[in-house]
Amino acid sequence: MPDTASVDEPGSGFVEVADRCWVARPAPGHVNVGLVGGASGLLMVDTSSSGRAASSVVEHVRSLGAGEVVAIFNTHEHAGHTSGNSVVSQAYGGPRIVAHDAARTLSPTEAFSSARVVDLGDRQVELLHLGRGHTAGDAVARVPDTDVVLVGDLVAGPVRNGPGEGVPGFGDDCFLLEWPATLDLLLSLLGERSVVVPGHGAAVDRAFVDEQRGKVGTVAETVRDLASRGVPVDRALASARWPFPTEHLGRAVGRGYRQLPRSGRRLPIV
């Protein structure tokens, strides 16, 4: 279980969260950048939110002395996680860039639909698409030998000086109704000692993911329930209790209503 000190921002410097698995959280953006080390080099998981942040990340990778970046994996296509791709790529002579094939705004050299293995010599990293949730192209990086999973924005980690838990990124491209099942599949990969690195915030454990899955599931079920009772979408937020502050849920509810099968909707109550 990560201690509370790890909630503090580690900045550009890498903190080792498990054997040869490091995380940095460079400003601006404070997006987690993961690094997995093997005998033949490093896999970088997400590349920060700007070229400037990525330059500082590259400096810190060099000072780590753990090898060269031989592959980049993007957990999804959002700019906050991919904007350092070109800087990191240039610094390391064009390592392969891997992402799910629904991460359409990227032009990765390698796309996969369900799974891909990155061989780092003495360890294999599994890249897995567990389903849609935060975006259509979410994928996670799993390091089986040390039980670490880097999950991008499928999970929102604890935020500094905040209420303790980040709110999942319910944006215009999320798949609210599918997100709970995707987290169920993630949970099936986790044990009591697993270390889960979210896209933002400190590393968490299985119990944290389980609790957040419950809340995301509640949002999805509440949308189903309201729609099935004919509550119009513009009255949905005011018509139920929600597990997250409602200012974060407008898009989630709108997306959820649109993604319901026709049989799940009723004519509005007048």
Positions touching Zn ion (CB under 5 A) are 78, 153, 169
Nearest to Zn ion of 78, 213 (CB atom): 78
Task: Give me the phi and psi of 206, to 5 degrees please.
Answer: -60, -40
Say which residues have a Cβ less than 8 Å from residue 245's Cβ, sequence separation at least 6. 167
User: In terms of CB distance, is 169 or 198 closer to Zn ion?
Assistant: 169
The pair of structure tokens assigned to 223 is: 């949308």
CB atoms within 10 A of CB 79: 12
Least distance to Zn ion, CB of residue 135, Å: 7
Residue 92 or 170: the one with the smaller Cβ distance to Zn ion is: 170
The full DSSP string for 54-71 is: HHHHHHHHHHHTS--EEE
Which residue, 123 or 134, is less far from Zn ion as judged by CB?
A: 134
Strand (E) or helix (H) holding 38: strand 33-38
Residues 6+ apart with CB under 8 A from 167: 156, 244, 245, 248
Q: Residue 78 CB, nearest distance to Zn ion (Å)?
A: 4
CA distance 80 to 27: 11
Closest contact distance (angstroms) between CB of 124 and Zn ion is 26
Minimum CB separation of residue 45 from Zn ion in Å reads 13
Q: Do the beta carbons of residue 196 and residue 149 sit within 8 Å?
A: yes
Nearer to Zn ion by Cβ, of 78 and 123: the residue is: 78
C-alpha neighbours within 13 Å on the C-beta side of residue 227: 21
Residues whose CB is less than 8 angstroms from the CB of residue 57 and which lie 6 or more positions away in sequence, other chains included: 12, 24, 26, 33, 47, 48, 84, 88
Looking at the Cβ atoms of 95 and 137, the one nearer to Zn ion is 137
Q: d(Cα 44, Cα 46) in Å, to the nearest integer?
A: 6
Least distance CB 210 / Zn ion (angstroms): 21
State the nearest-atom distance from the C-beta of 169 to Zn ion, in Å: 5
Quick one: tokens of 150?
């880097």
Residue 209 or 231: which CB sits closer to Zn ion?
209
Q: How near is the Cβ of 134 to Zn ion at its closest, in Å?
A: 6
